[in-house]
Amino acid sequence: MDQQRFGDDPLAVRDTDHYKAEYVTGFVEKWDELIDWKRRYASEGRFFVDQLKERGVRNVLDVATGTGFHSVRLVEEGFDTVSADGSPEMLAKAFANGLDFGGHILRVVQADWRWLNRSVHGTYDAIICLGNSFTHLFSERDRRKALAEFYAMLKHDGVLIIDQRNYDALLDGKYGNKHTYYYCGEEVSAEPEYVDEGLARFVYRFPDKSEYHLNMFPLRKNYTRRIMREVGFQRIDTYGDFQETHQGEDPDFFIHIAEKA
């Protein structure tokens, strides 16, 4: 599949199951080619690794493996890691990347978050869902179902880490619709093309002039925190751009760390 299909009315595409049709091969390959993993390593630093190590985490389930960036990092840091994703194309790319970056054999499992337990077995000290992935769920029912599956697959004192774009700033007009996010210098850009309370549609532009879109649900920070709490997580700490948030600042990303005990 190499063509994204949004049909005649792209703004009407607000469907959890559409993610597989959005991550077409051309988009994924180009993204991975241009977003240098070393730069990503540098910008994240040891944030996730330290959070996990501080909690004595040994085994991790990466539920949004994508092309494998975090899974490979975790394997390199010695975590016993299982790499899940709903998209077989993504898992194939992740597996190849594991071999290319250090000769690691990733343990990949195809699983949709809403029915995670059907395909992934065992319990984990930590589950990670990173790279603005949770935003692909379009209904509250799907979000609750996914969180309930994550909760059930964690050990009694397990931790869930979810990150998300700062949609509050977008929805509240702080960035405006024309805010451009650059990745990897000026080479790849992401711009919100349309935003309302139920849809954030982004356009991604590459140096060869190709364009791809993603339709995402604009999660408000406190809404994500609330549903995590309602599903049963006891403590949720939210960081902005890998630092504890301070009032009045507008980070691009939020990271929620939710503890079960």
- For ligand SAM, give the closer residue by CB, 16 or 81: 16
**In this chain, which of 69, 138, 175, 217 binds ligand SAM, going by CB under 6 A?**
69
**Quick check: 136 binds ligand SAM (CB under 6 A)?**
yes
Q: Which residues in 103-122 contact ligand SAM (CB under 6 A)?
A: 112-113
Size of the site for ligand SAM (CB under 6 A): 19
Distances (CA, A) of 163 to 22, 95, 122, 225, 242: 20, 23, 24, 11, 10
Residue 100: CB partners within 8 Å, gap ≥ 6? Answer: none
Task: Pick the binder of ligand SAM from 108, 130, 147, 170 (CB under 6 A).
Answer: 130
Q: Is 83 in the site for ligand SAM (CB under 6 A)?
A: no
CB of 190 to ligand SAM, least distance (A): 11
| Listed ranges 67-75, 166-174, 175-183, 189-197: which one lies at the site for ligand SAM (CB under 6 A) | 67-75
Q: Which stretch binds ligand SAM (CB under 6 A): 61-69, 183-191, 197-205, 233-241?
A: 61-69
If the CB atoms of residues 3 and 247 are measured against ligand SAM, the closer one turns out to be: 3
Contact between 19 and ligand SAM (CB under 6 A)?
A: yes
Name, in order, each residue with C-beta under 8 angstroms of 72's C-beta and a sequence gap of 6 or more: 37, 94, 97, 98, 101, 102, 104, 106
* Nearest CA-CA partner of 92 in 75, 108, 72: 108
Closest CA relative to residue 217, chosen from 113, 112, 143: 143
Stretch that binds ligand SAM, among 5-13, 127-135, 193-201, 244-252 (CB under 6 A): 127-135
Residue 78 vs residues 73, 93, 121, 130: alpha-carbon distances, Å: 9, 21, 20, 19
Stretches 15-23, 48-56, 166-174, 251-259: which one binds ligand SAM (CB under 6 A)? 15-23
- The 3-state DSSP class for residue 247 equals coil
Nearest to 231 by CA among 56, 133, 118, 113: 113
Residues 85-104 that bind ligand SAM (CB under 6 A): 85-87, 90
Amino acid at 38: K
Give me the phi and psi of 194, to 5 degrees please: -155, 135
Residue 161 φ/ψ, nearest 5 degrees: -120, 120
Which residues make up the interface to ligand SAM (CB under 6 A)? 16, 19, 23, 64, 66-67, 69-70, 85-87, 90, 112-113, 130-133, 136
